Amino acid sequence: MGPSPWGDHSSFILMASLNWYLLTSIHKVKHRIHFILCSAIIFQRIQHCAKSIEFLPQIKLQNNLSPVFSYNPCEDFYGYACGNWEANHLRTGTMESSNVFDVLLEENQLILKRLLEVPQLRVGSSAKEKAIQFYHSCMDTQQIEAEGAQPLKELINQVGGWNVTGPEKQTDFNQTLQTLMGKYNTFPFFRAYVGPNSSDPSTNIIQVRGSAGDGSWKGQSQGTFVLVMGFKSQVVRVYFSYLMKLGTLLGGPQNVTSTFISFALSFISNLQKEVTPLQKRRERGMLFYHTTIRELQEKAPAIDWLSCLQAAFHPVQLNISQPIVVHDMDYLKGMSSTVNHSFVLQIYMILCLVGNLSPALDSRFQDARRELFEKLHGKTGESGMVLAHRWKKCLSDTSTFFEPVLGEMIVQEIFPQETKELVGILLPPPKHKLSLISFSSFHSHLIHCQGQVTSLFLTNVPSFFGSEVEIRRRSQAVNSGCSLSFSASSWEVFPWSVHSYYSLRRHAVVFPAGMFRSPFFHAEFPSAVNFGAMGVIMAHELLHAFYDYGSCPRCNRDALVRGTDCLVEQYERYSLQGLRINGTFTLLENAADTGGLAIAYQAYKNWLKKHKQERNLPGSGLSHHQLFYISFANVMNTLLILFILDPHSPPPLRVRGPLSNSQDFARHFHCSSTAPMNPAFKCHIW
């Protein structure tokens, strides 16, 4: 084996104290790495069985890590380590939880469900009480069914009426657009939002997007109906049927509804023609066009841009010189011209509002939407829309408006107060070039922003639809204002999420609190298990921060090239279900898998030097080192192996590849020199 490409100038080691801790000593690296702890990452202990889904963690761990002895670990370690999980889950699992991450996510959601379903003894005004009220109103299907379509009919009349269901009032186009954008988060002609500034990723900027990134056009913010695939006729027919159903459910006569829906679809077709193809915008350098509201007003004068954007982002004060980013200026100019020559603006805008708010109505509207997705994607197709339980829909809706509140609720439930001080062991020594964005400061900011929403939420809103509309009315501007003023630490996942990720834009490694639970981590587990699962996950994500190899000028470049070439060749020799792996496409993830395993195992060995007493797993017959590798493999448990455009290799190969490169694995499982899991030539990068 050649010298490490990182020479003697750096080491990257995950270590542990009590269960584990993070130690890193990266030198001469220009990146700043932030650990965004989406919730306080601390040790989980079970105080009361009734307070946790996890009962007797040692027994659960034994079930998870029990190997299948009919498999030879030196020939098929994935089958050896994961076969029992697959067999057990085939009997008890669902298609919604086909891998270990999905199972853990559903457990986290069940915790939130239980917390939100506490009896309402009084109508309070705190953010937590508002979240519980909202969830309960969503679960009150009896009242939702009794109200039917009436709440939306009344709202339509308030914004000028709709020719589909009755006469329209004479309204000002821009005034209606301002109302839809500011109060109901509905954007019929374009999407205005706050996003990262391409010229300064540490800040956010108002952005105007006229079309989706693939050239499709979204009719409204939630994506309830999205005309895609080049406006193909078969797709239009499906949407026409869906929109017809919405119109008739709202009381529109069949013939009248058909006429006006046809007008609206024709108008959408005209808008679609103004969309500039993504490739052309990229070639012309127009993906991120920096401009001002004044220039946008000159180029697309049909829209009162300052008033509309002010309505969307109130109470943030905007002016005509406000910097913004436009993603398709040609579309906005063409859209402006189309709007000036159309007679169906009110019909179309209200149709967008209907598409946005109808999911909050009774089961007839739910059935219509489900039928739409099934026709477009199949019963469990690309849309991912399946027949979910009502509580999952209500939890999703509640988290949309009360994410910080739910995050705090689940953290308090999962992590007892007396263990929170242990989070300090995750902090690296000050000399290292790492910085920690503390959860407390970011969380308090989010709670402050959320408090602005909940403090304005009407206490006596009588129904779920009213709750949905009222919170939407208040939250659009509040969330936008908070995003503008506080960007660097925003999350891209919920705190109860189970997927870590590396944000290239922020040079940030994010580990949601929802991950720090069994089977990835538990205070009662042997440290070998915590290192093998959570330790490898953390090391894997941290390595993504160093994909820019030029950031280490003193590294051994020749060894680095040899290592990456070796990995490409290794994975391209693999096949699964008759299909071969693209070693170049999956290289970065394969490198992080191999490096993450090596780093976490080295960290575990360093931990053992300081902690002679390692907790055993009774009855397993496995050494601590063997437990480490089985725990690593169990992270990859899955029922479905999908060959899709995924930069990761399929799970069985994410086990086989890294372990085949580990001499330590071969030694602890006593693999012969001819065993498939112990090839003579092994690839190393880190």
Q: Does the pLDDT of residue 238 top 50, yes or no?
A: yes
Asked about 541 being catalytic, the answer comes back as yes
CA distances in angstroms from 40 to 218, 380, 444, 495, 508, listed in the order given: 37, 35, 12, 10, 16
Q: Which of 216, 414, 174, 431 is closest to 305 using CA atoms? A: 174
Q: How confident is the model at residue 573 (pLDDT cuts 50, 70, 90)?
A: very high
Identify which has the larger pLDDT, 374 or 481: 374
Q: Does the pLDDT of residue 361 top 60, yes or no?
A: yes
What is the SS3 assignment for 465?
helix
Assigned domain for 55 exists = no
Q: Does the pLDDT of residue 419 top 70, yes or no?
A: no
| Average pLDDT of the chain to the nearest whole number | 76
Catalytic position from the list 106, 330, 524, 593: 593
Q: What proportion of the chain, given as a percentage, has pLDDT over 70?
A: 69
Q: For position 561, what pLDDT does the model report?
A: 83
Q: Does the pLDDT of residue 33 top 50, yes or no?
A: no
Spatial neighbors of 295 by CB under 8 A, at least 6 apart, are: none
Assigned domain for 98 exists = no
Distance CA 277, CA 243 (A): 27
Specify the number of domains making up the chain.
1
Q: For position 671, what pLDDT does the model report?
A: 97
The answer to whether 556 and 638 are in contact (CB under 8 A) is: no
CA distances in angstroms from 519 to 5, 54, 73, 628, listed in the order given: 34, 10, 21, 13
For the segment 122-142, the average pLDDT, to the nearest whole number, is 83
Assigned domain for 239 exists = yes
Distance CA 183, CA 202 (A): 29
Identify which has the larger pLDDT, 449 or 92: 92
Identify which has the larger pLDDT, 70 or 206: 206
Q: How many CB atoms lie within 10 A of CB 35?
A: 22
Task: Output the domain CATH number for residue 173.
Answer: 1.10.1380.10
Strand order in the sheet with 323-326: 191-197, 200-209, 323-326, 289-292
CA distances in angstroms from 517 to 44, 45, 107, 164, listed in the order given: 7, 10, 10, 52
Distance CA 360, CA 323 (A): 36
Q: For position 462, what pLDDT does the model report?
A: 52
Structure tokens that stand for 73 in this block = 């670990």
Structure tokens that stand for 591 in this block = 């490198």
Assigned domain for 375 exists = no
Distance CA 81, CA 636 (A): 10
Q: Which of 297, 298, 278 is closest to 288 using CA atoms? A: 278
What is the torsion angle, in degrees rounded to the nearest 10, for the CA atoms of residue 581, residue 585, residue 591 and residue 592?
Answer: -110
Task: Enter the DSSP assignment of 616.
Answer: P
Q: Does the pLDDT of residue 332 top 80, yes or no?
A: yes
Q: Which amino acid is at 470?
A: E
pTM value is: 0.74
Q: Does the pLDDT of residue 218 top 50, yes or no?
A: no
Task: Determine phi and psi for 4, rounding to 5 degrees.
Answer: -65, 140
Helix, strand, coil abundance in the chain, percent, nearest 5? 55, 10, 40
Structure tokens that stand for 56 in this block = 């007797």
Q: Which amino acid is at 183?
A: K
Structure tokens that stand for 278 in this block = 């993504």
| Cis before 519? omega within 30 | yes
Lowest average pLDDT, out of 347-361, 550-564, 657-671, goes to 550-564
Assigned domain for 499 exists = no
Catalytic position from the list 328, 403, 541, 589: 541
Q: For position 555, what pLDDT does the model report?
A: 62
Assigned domain for 289 exists = yes
Distance CA 383, CA 54 (A): 31
Beta pairing class for 33-37 and 508-511: parallel
Spatial neighbors of 352 by CB under 8 A, at least 6 apart, are: 180, 186, 187, 188, 219, 220
Assigned domain for 288 exists = yes
Assigned domain for 519 exists = no
Lowest average pLDDT, out of 234-238, 416-420, 562-566, goes to 416-420
Q: How many CB atoms lie within 10 A of CB 90?
A: 9
Q: Which amino acid is at 596?
A: G
Domain containing 246 equals: 163-356
Q: How confident is the model at residue 480 (pLDDT cuts 50, 70, 90)?
A: low
Q: How confident is the model at residue 461 (pLDDT cuts 50, 70, 90)?
A: very low
Spatial neighbors of 460 by CB under 8 A, at least 6 apart, are: 123
Count how many Cα atoms sit within 13 Å of the Cα of residue 331 in the half-sphere of its side chain. 29
- Provide DSSP, 283-352: HTT-SSEEEEHHHHHHHSTTS-HHHHHHHHHTTS---TT-EEEES-HHHHHHHHHHHHT-S-HHHHHHHH
Distance CA 199, CA 66 (A): 52
Q: Does the pLDDT of residue 402 top 50, yes or no?
A: yes
Spatial neighbors of 281 by CB under 8 A, at least 6 apart, are: 287, 327, 328
The full 3-state SS of 114-131, as one line of letters, equals: HHHCCCCCCCCCCHHHHH
Structure tokens that stand for 679 in this block = 């090839």
Asked about 664 being catalytic, the answer comes back as no
